[in-house]
Amino acid sequence: MGIAEIANPLDPATLRGDFPILESVLHGDQPLVYLDNAATTQRPRQVIDAIVDVYEKRYANVHRGIHWLSDQSTDLYEEAREKVRQFIGAAHRDEIIFTPGTTEGVNLVARSWGDTNVGPGDEIVLTEMEHHSNIVPWQQLAERREAIIRWAPIDDAGELILEEFEKLLGPRTKMVAVTAVSNVLGTINPVREIVAKARDVGACVLVDAAQSVPHAVTDVAAWGADFVAFSGHKMLGPTGVGVLHGRRELLEAMPPFLGGGSMIRRVKFEGFEPADLPSKFEAGTPPIVPAIGLGAAIDYLQQIGLAAIAQHERILTARALEVLEEIGQVRVFGPPLARRAGIVSFTIEGVHAHDVAQLLDRAGVAVRAGHHCTMPLHKKLGVAATSRASFYFYNTLAELDVFGEALAGAKRVFRR
């Protein structure tokens, strides 16, 4: 399907004015073209204003005070939790744990659930496309508990080979940890099918949803996964806040991850009793204002509509793939458009990825270069680094024309 055949229900021009940073001019006269959204997104005025409003008018610590300001902050903080619950289709508010980000969410599960349920000889199944944040915590768990990590392979198109994945599952499989969308390949994994296969052998499933929740409708109940982790800063929210969704019966059975502050019901000289969910996993002072900012980001995304966002990103991705094909001598990584999210990683023959990114920056175009926290994947691909362009609803087709012109210029520079 060509780009002209994809209907676009979204006009980014009507939204870009909400993002002050998109008005930036770089290097004197180059308008910013921000194509690094897989690393982090920009924030609209509505989110910025919500954060400022709390700090200026309604900020205090939550859950502990009996004064008006504390009540205000607590209400806003818990309203944000309810917004998250509705946004991802979770059954219960107390299944929503605020964390500093996806990384801590995965580490929480690996430490609390993993140390309790994984023993010598047990197996953890990961895929070759995982982010380091969904690799290292499991490697640490395997080392602590003398467990074994199994790697599910991907094919030449960057897609999970489901038949090989299924062969890895067995009676010793305790956890399957998989990304919903690869942050390098853009591969959209069949999460429901993966979960169903893991369920057949009694394994738990954690989904790294950092690259999927901001870009498409998410229904964790339909996925059926035991744990889902994602970050606020990749979906218009502030840094310093993320979400771990877990099935309530599992969270209730897990020991606390961190100790102190809000996670206790009572403390005695002889020991302590943890608080009920979700406080049990929110030790210390939680990310109050970041969580409220995340709630404002969810409001903004809901107004646009996740289905419209996904469709617009598909158009941008289709155009990006056309641009790269037109330039020539470019290797693009990842699956066909139909099974790809708004992420395109590539290399240009004879040009290092860092040089590509630096020359694009001179034209005001911001892309990522490096291994993108996926060293094992890049080893599998046979490259040390890639350049990555990643899109969001405020990006335009005109910006992709600028991207293409800048990329063609960079190629000419190195050809000389």
Instruction: Report in angstroms the alpha-carbon separations of 357 from 297, 361, 387, 415.
Output: 29, 6, 7, 16
Query: Is 347 in contact with 353 (CB distance < 8 Å)?
Result: yes
Using only C-alpha atoms, the chain has a radius of gyration, in whole angstroms, of: 22
Contacts of 372 (CB under 8 A, 6+ apart): 38, 131, 183, 184, 345, 378, 386, 388
Q: Is 204 a catalytic residue?
A: no
d(CA 94, CA 90): 10
Catalytic residue (one of 48, 308, 373, 384): 373
- Token pair for residue 361? 């920056």
d(CA 332, CA 321): 8
Query: Is 213 in contact with 83 (CB distance < 8 Å)?
Result: no
Q: Which residues pair with 389 in a beta bridge?
A: 344
Pairing of strands 173-179, 204-208: parallel
56 C-beta neighbours (distance < 10 Å), count:
8
Contacts of 354 (CB under 8 A, 6+ apart): 369, 370, 385
Three-class HEC string of 298-364: HHHHHHHCHHHHHHHHHHHHHHHHHHHHHHCCEEEECCCHHHECCEEEEEECCECHHHHHHHHHHCC
What's the order of all strands across the beta sheet hosting 368-370?
330-333, 343-348, 386-390, 368-370
d(CA 18, CA 26): 19
Burial class from Cβ neighbours inside 10 Å (0-12, 13-18, 19+) for residue 237 reads: buried
Look-up of token digits 């640490």: 140
Show which residues are catalytic.
Answer: 373
